[in-house]
Each structure stands twice: as C-alpha cells, then as structure tokens.
Amino acid sequence: MHIEHLSLTNFRNYARLELSLPQQPIVLYGENAQGKTSILEALYYLATSRSPYTTSDRQLIHWRTEDDPIPFARLAADVNNRESATQRLEITLLMDKSGPVPRFKKTIKLNGVEKRVMDVVGLLTVVLFLPQDLALVEGSPSERRRFMDTTLTQVNRDYLEALDNYEKILPQRNALLRRISERQSSRKELAFWDEQLAHAGAAVIAGRQTFLRELEELAQRNHDDLTGRTETLTLKYQPSFVPTAEANGQMSFNLLGLDLHRELTAEQIEPQFLQQLEAEQNESIMRGVTLSGPHRDELRIFINERDCGLYGSRGQARTAVLALKLAELSWMRDHLGEWPILLLDEVVAELDRKRRAYLLDRLDGIAQTLVTTTELEIFTSDFLERAQVYEVIAGQISEKATP
C-alpha cells in the first residue's frame, strides 16, 4: 500500500497543501506546533474517518474559515494498493450555517462517487504509534477497547458494521431503561432492543477474541526479541460477562470460558448475552444503563503472568507497547496481503537506543512510513540517507538536505 499524493484544504493549520509522498521513509522535521502531526492526523482520518486527537470534527476545520458563509475542510489522497490502480479517496467536512441551527456534514467520496464509511474499508489502512500509547498498558479500559476497534474496523467490514450497530443501539436501550424507571415505558419494549444489542454485541465480542488470539502470537515474537526471551507477554481478554463453551453459564477447569485458546462463535455468544441482559434487567432499570456488553470489556497485558498495568515497570510497559504496535502492523499485513501505512508521531525520541534500533531495523523498507521529529540527531546517518526529510514551518513544507 502506498499513498502517492496528499491534498489538504482548510485542515488544521494548512490552508492549502499539495504533497507527493515517496515510498522511502519520510521524516517530517520541525519545531512543535508547526504542522507535523497534522499530516499524520490527516492520513489517519482518511483511513478511519476519525481523529486520534479530538472527538470534535469541527476542530479540524482551519480557524480562519470561521467567518466564511460555509466553513469547510477537504482531505484527499491518491492511494495505490494491491487490489487496484491509483484511486482517489476524499473526505469533506462542511459546516452549514444557513439555517437557524448550524449543521455539520461529512461526505466521503471514492473516485468522485459518494460512499459510506464501510464501502471504503481496507482501501487505506494505517497504524499510528504515539508516545501516549503507553495508555494501552497504564490507561483506562476505553483506551484498550479503542485499540482493538481501530485495528479491526480498518480490516473487517462485518466487525465495522456490528460495532456501528451496537453503538447506535446502546444509547437507545439506555434511554428506554430510564423511561421504564420513570414509569413512562413498559418493560416489554426491552425485548426488541435486547435482541438487537445481543446480536451486534456477540459479533463484536467474537471479533475481538479472534483478533487478540492472533495478535498475541505476533506480539510474543516481538517481545521475545526485545527481551532476549527473559520475559513472556500474554494478553487476557476480560469481557464484562463470560460466555462459556457449554453455553450454560457454568465454568470448570476443563471447559474454559471465553479465552484466547477456546474460541467461541458469535452464534454461541449471542443467546448467552441475551440471557445476561435479562438476568440483570432489574438493576439496569434502576441504574438506567446497560451493565454488560462490549462497551465494558477489558484487555489486560501480562508480563510473566503479572499484570503489567499494575505491577510492571515503565521499561516493561514501553517494551510491551512496542511489541503490540509492531504486531498490529503485521496482523494487518497478514489479513490485507500488504503492509498498511505506518505513522510514528514523536515516538522514536521516546525510545531508548536499543528499542529505537529495533524499531527502525524492523520497519525500514517494509511499509511506507512517516515519522515526525524535532531532532534529526536521534536517527543514524544511514537511515537519513535512505529517507526523504521534509522541514515543516508554520504549515509550510519543504525538502531538507540530510545532515
């Protein structure tokens, strides 16, 4: 997979940008707040239709357009992948202020034809590596759920559809629970929403389980290399309820429940999820929220059978995250048949010499890679000679001779 050209209009601090991207490693160099990260954000947004840095798409539109009749931003990329010749992927963000209430609209086009998000799944895929990815070990469960969902939705259209449905159904069920609590609706209305939620949620749980089983094997290889086989990395998926192999809610040492080694299908999980929703119905009504489901799932990372988030050192956490992100890259390659685009935002400077060398040696030449940095000195001269270095100053990009 290769991005040939990136075009930005009114995106972040870029009023206008036209940038051709070579296949060699690309280093975006400059001081902070100059626009380096915005390039990575644009590519990530084109791939996922979401920003990794903000939940408000409005913030992506250049601030100078605020007084325009219709503020807008446009992102476009010419993408080459193994499935087809160059295709143009374009997203337009538009704020319509003509009515009494401003309306925000997002439009996705492929080769000029309007598409849905799921219609362009897999056309452009990325892996983003950030210094704050330590949250995968030390942060909240939502960070780890986002990691699973971002990877899976770029590769698996069925998973994307199931997650999208789940995220639409969940707030409607929660609203109904509150109305029932206030005696404004009947319990009988829950049956429809429970069935819908269980169907979508079971597909999400099954997808996450399969993903983690495959990811763990890849991550363990990386972790073995980084630690000289002195430590063992394992992943433990902890859904908010545990469906069992016998589908009777009972677990034994001989019949493990939902783990990474005894895989359950969505069809096996769905009736058990539905039973769980019915069993906790009274408490859910009292609290006004759905108590079980993928929105409450957890992923824990263990080193030598000890929870790294609770007992691991900072160094162990960094090694585990590096192993996971490289595994994510390989997992996507295995499922897509080609390498995704790799985006490294100030990551290299955060790594010690050993991890930095391992990362650059593993990545050099296998995938189109964009790296941001404020310090060129952290790279070896050999790497810089093979790379294309761009200097970014106040939203302006120019080629820079390597030192």
**396-399 and 306-307 beta bridge pairing:** unpaired
Binding positions = 30-37
Instruction: Give just the sign of the alpha carbon dihedral 238, 244, 247, 250.
Output: negative
Binding positions for ATP = 30-37
What's the rounded Cα separation, in Å, for the pair 285 and 175? Answer: 10
- Cβ atoms within 10 A of the Cβ of 396, count? 13
The residues with which 20 forms a beta bridge, in sequence order, are 5
Q: Three-class SS string for the chain?
A: CEEEEEEEEEECCEEEEEEECCCCCEEEECCCCCCHHHHHHHHHHHHHCCCCCCCCHHHHECHHHCCCCCCEEEEEEEEEECCEEEEEEEEEEEEECCCCCCEEEEEEEECCEEECHHHHCCCCCEEEECHHHHHHHHCCHHHHHHHHHHHHHHHCHHHHHHHHHHHHHHHHHHHHHHHHHCCCCCHHHHHHHHHHHHHHHHHHHHHHHHHHHHHHHHHHHHHHHHHCCCCCEEEEEECCCCCECCCCCCCCCCCCECCCCCCCCHHHHHHHHHHHHHHCHHHHHHHCCCCCCHHHCEEEEEECCEEHHHHCCHHHHHHHHHHHHHHHHHHHHHHHCCCCEEEEECCHHHCCHHHHHHHHHHHCCCCCEEEEECCHHHCCHHHHHHCEEEEEECCEEEECCCC
Q: Of 334, 203, 222, 212, which Cα lies nearest the Cα of 267?
A: 203
Would you state the structure tokens that stand for residue 66, as one six-digit string? 């605020």
